[in-house]
Every structure is written in structure tokens, then in C-alpha cells.
Amino acid sequence: KKIWSATTCLVAATTTGPRKSSFLASALSFHRGCSSSCNTSYTRRGLFASSCNTSYTRRGLFASTGDDSSAISSGSSFTTHSSLSELLEEFDYDALILDQFGVLHNGKNALDGTIDCVERIALGKDGTKKVRLIVLSNTSSPSKTTLDRLQTKLGFDRSYFCEAVTSGEEAGRYIQKTYGNNNNDNKKSKFVWCTWDVSNENVPDPAAFLELLGPNVEPTVDISSADFVVAHGSGAIRGFGKDQVGSDATQQQEEHEIISMGSFLDDGNLGEGTPINDLLGKCADRNLPLVCANPDMVVQYHDGSLKHMPGKIAQRYQEILESKNGKNDDELPSITIYGKPHTEHFEACLRKLEEDRTKQQTTSDKNSEELQQPLRVAHVGDSIHHDIAGANAAGVPSIFIVGGIHEEDLLSPQEEGDEKKETSSAEPSKTSRRMPTEGRLREFFDREGITPTHVLPVFKY
């Protein structure tokens, strides 16, 4: 282990009473008429790009950068560790909030050593301290679907996770509450649905998300009848017939139109003449609001390629709206984004971890000294902009995984070349255990204006 400078282990305290909400809402909406717990003015760029032109409140936990910092920083100090066991030996965390992509799996396979790591700390095997685990993910899948897939597709035992908090679940509940409580049974709310191609086995099942919305909301490809837009996936625009209310097999057969997004998933092309750009332009002509169920811009697939996510669709829609209406927020429809780095999602994880601890206590343990102590919680993630920035803003210590989305930024060309030689096509889940030099890490963190509490090469015990 190396400690580049003195650092204090920050403890995220959870309580059974109400917690003061941070100024970042779980979804930030960009028009004056939409309620939000945000009391700070945001640039639209701040949601989508790697930097934001806003200073962030740190709740007294993190030192201010002293100016309009481009992002959230936990200070200039961080610790590095060769393994999770080494980190936990010194920093006695009771619970971990786990990102999925780049930490647990690559979309198709569990990453090398992660199944064993999860089992060891969840069960407290071989003298290991038992650690509570919860998943926090910018997936457009519902929470239950996410946990089911971790077990059935990726080999994790879902019982090792007390819960999952996903951007898809929160977005779906918002849509149901906002558009699905229609007392007029003869009139349903309709939305333009940018979603996934069901033939792609590596993406979430669109039907699971649709079920969250309830019977009074349905997708349509008829923009003239739509009430809002949903950026849920990056494969197709899907619409159902007038009598559709759900997503079972019979109803899916009656789906009347699917419009391909072309090559967007692979190349991120949303330029003039592409199907999705033309559709968004027509939605902007009607000033339709948009809900984004996954704010990610790109993710790294199992084969090392970068795939383009719904966050880019929301960003492009914002650009089209501004080109048509100018940048006056009073004249623009809302763009509501769910997922990290918004701190409400981290706070939801803290509450659920505390609820799980309370639930697991026997009656005689309810007044135990252990239960009276705050949980010591850290978040594990590979995205400096979503995971680390969000954890820092929420006052949660962060564990940055080098071998994820930023690996190419952090490994030198020589190291990267060596790593490719070591990783064969027969080992798609192999992950690097290399740790960049102190200088390279510090340069990267300083450039992004975001510093984690700890650094690990991979999530491996």
C-alpha cells in the first residue's frame, strides 16, 4: 500500500431518522416549473460532460478547491492498495456500494476474481469481516431485473446483495407517478421510446422497464400523439398499437412499428440525417419533455469496444432544443436525468443498508452498542465522473477501480501493450492488476478535478 499524503478515512453515517437532503436531486430538471431539491444554478453541460461549471457543497467533509472547480474533489490525498483485503484491513468499512460495469462484470462475463471477492466479504469467509453489499447502477433495468441478471447471466449469488438501486427503477417510478396516474381510463399518456434492440443479449430487457410504468402509459411512434420522450436504450424506437397496455408475448406480437437507431450504439453518430436525430428534431418541434433512464455517455463492452448510451441521446436533445428555442430555460421543456452522480441515489443506498442492518438484528440486539454506531460505508466504482464525483458529493468515501472505463487513460502505452499481450481472447473476463504510478494517478485526478479516497487496480480480494 502507498499513501501519497496524509488522509482521513471519511465515514458516511447512516441513521434511522431523516437525513438532510443534499442539494443535488435524484433527477435534475431544467426548467423553472419542475420541482427539485437543487438550489444551485446548473449549466446543462454539467449533467453530460466530464466537468461542470458549478461549485459543489461538500457538507464540511471535503476541502474546497477554492474556485469554480470543474468537478467534485475529496481533496488531494488518496491511498492506493493492491487488493481489497489490504484496504479493508486498514479501513474498517461495514458496507460497500458497488457499481456494476467495470467493477463486477463487463456486460457479458463476471470480471476475474469478482465472484469470489463478493462471496468472501458477503459471508465473512475464512475469518474475513462480513461486509454488507448493495448495487448502485446507471442501468436502465429495474432493480429486481438487475439482481436477477447478476445471478442468472453472470454467476453472482443475488442473496449476497441486500438490494439494488438503479436509474431505470427510479426513472420508471417517476414516469408512473407523473404520467401514469391518469384518472381518465380512456386516455393514456404516450411517450416516444428510445430503447434497446431485443436481439442484443447484452442489453436490458425493454419489457421489464415497461412494466414499471403501469397500464396508463404506453409507447408510440406517432410523435403527434406523444406526451413525452424516454431515453432508455440505444437500439431502437418502439411503439405499440392503440390497445396495448402491457408487454406480454401476445402483445409484443401486435407491436406495429420498430424504428432502428442505425449504428448509434457502435459509433455514437447522432448527426444530421440519422434516424434518431430526425426523430428528436420532431419531438423538439413539439417541445416534448424528456426523461433519461441511463445518464451514461459510453460504457466499455466485454470485447473492449466502447458503446454509446442514452445519456448521449439526452445531450443531443438538449442541443436540438437550444438550437430551435435558444438557451432560455423558461422556454425549454424539462430534461429529467436519473442516476449517478446525483447524490439522492447514494443516499437511497445508505438508507437501504441501514434498513438491512436493522432487519437482520434480533430483538435482543436492537439496543446493542453495534447498532447504535453509524455504518462505515464506501462506494466502489470505475467512473471518475459518475461514481467518484457522486460519492464525494454525497459524503461517501470512494474506492476508484483503475481497470475500468479509464484504464487507457491511466496506463502508459507500454503498459497497455503488455496488458493486451497477457489477455487472450479465451479469457474475456481477465482484468489488469496493474497500478499506475503516483504521478500518473495524481495528474489524472488533478486534470478531472476529482480525487477518490482510495485506489484499487481491480475489485479482487
pLDDT beyond 50 at 140: yes
In 198-323, the DSSP E strands lie at 217-219, 228-231, 236-239, 257-260, 290-292, 298-300, 306-308
Beta strand pairing status for 377-381 and 95-98? Answer: parallel
| Closest C-alpha among 243, 254, 194 to residue 215 | 243
Confidence at 181, pLDDT banded by 50, 70, 90:
confident
pLDDT beyond 70 at 458: yes
More confident residue, 66 or 259: 259
Residues 353-378, mean pLDDT to the nearest whole number:
78
**What per-residue confidence (pLDDT) applies to 415?**
52
Q: Give percent above pLDDT 70 in the chain.
A: 72
pLDDT beyond 90 at 198: no
In 112-219, the DSSP E strands lie at 132-137, 164-166, 189-195, 217-219
> CA–CA separation, 44 vs 295, rounded Å?
13
> CA–CA separation, 58 vs 433, rounded Å?
32
Please say whether the beta carbons of 239 and 257 come within 8 A: yes
Please say whether the beta carbons of 145 and 164 come within 8 A: no
**What per-residue confidence (pLDDT) applies to 89?**
94
**What per-residue confidence (pLDDT) applies to 73?**
54
**What per-residue confidence (pLDDT) applies to 224?**
94
Range with the lowest mean pLDDT among 2-16, 319-333, 418-432?
2-16
> CA–CA separation, 260 vs 371, rounded Å?
53
**What per-residue confidence (pLDDT) applies to 414?**
53
For 176, counting Cβ atoms within 10 Å of its Cβ (0-12 exposed, 13-18 middle, 19+ buried), the class is middle
Please say whether the beta carbons of 392 and 421 come within 8 A: no
Longest dimension (CA), the chain: 67
> CA–CA separation, 403 vs 458, rounded Å?
6
**Vertex 169: Cα angle to 270 and 341 (nearest 5):** 65
For 220, counting Cβ atoms within 10 Å of its Cβ (0-12 exposed, 13-18 middle, 19+ buried), the class is buried
DSSP designation for 326: -
**What per-residue confidence (pLDDT) applies to 371?**
66
Instruction: Specify the residue for cell string 461549471.
Output: 53
Confidence at 39, pLDDT banded by 50, 70, 90:
very low
Amino acid sitting at position 217? V
pLDDT beyond 80 at 323: yes
> Terminus-to-terminus CA distance in the chain, angstroms?
14
What confidence tens digit (pLDDT) does each residue in 58-104 have?
222 222 223 333 345 555 799 999 999 999 999 999 999 999 999 99
Instruction: Specify the residue for cell string 381518465.
Output: 184
| Closest C-alpha among 202, 208, 198 to residue 171 | 208
| Closest C-alpha among 314, 309, 312 to residue 337 | 314
Confidence at 189, pLDDT banded by 50, 70, 90:
very high
